Amino acid sequence: MATLLHRTTKQYLVSVDPNGLPEPIANYIENPDLAAVVGFGSQYWIITGDVVTLMDAPARAAVDAAALEASRDAVAAGFDQLESSDRAILSLLRDEINVLRALHALPDRTIAQYKTQIRARLGS
């Protein structure tokens, strides 16, 4: 039995029979030394050969920023997936707001504009 770390997925396996792996043992680091990355998620690990190191602070910040952007994109895209009463309520509110905007000679707001504005306000 061995402790293994997958070189690509960073999946950590404890007490595994190397003969029962779904792929070649060369894709794993046997008994990896993780002392340098204790307390940090695997998204911050760098694997070079059999050595696992931690990204520096700016690189970790870049990973966090990318994850935040992806999360915000997913929230904005989620509006296209709304169904039933949620979609009906949002559609009704948009129509009501557009009636008020027309009274002031302002153009209608579109769903795309709302998605952009909501995405921009996430996290603020």
Q: 82 pLDDT band (50/70/90 cuts)?
A: low
Tell me how far CA of residue 7 lies from CA of 29, 35, 51, 74, in angstroms.
7, 17, 10, 28
In tens, the pLDDT along 104-117 reads 999 999 888 887 88
User: Helix 57-78 crosses helix 111-121 at what angle (to 10 degrees)?
Assistant: 150
User: What are the structural domain ranges in the chain?
Assistant: 2-55, 59-121
Strand ranges for 1-124 from DSSP E: 2-6, 12-16, 28-30, 45-48, 51-54
Q: What is the pLDDT of residue 77?
A: 72
User: pLDDT tens, 56-67?
Assistant: 999 999 999 999
**Gyration radius of the chain over CA positions:** 24
What's 7's DSSP letter?
T
Smallest CA-to-CA distance from 16 within 26, 34, 41, 5 is with 5
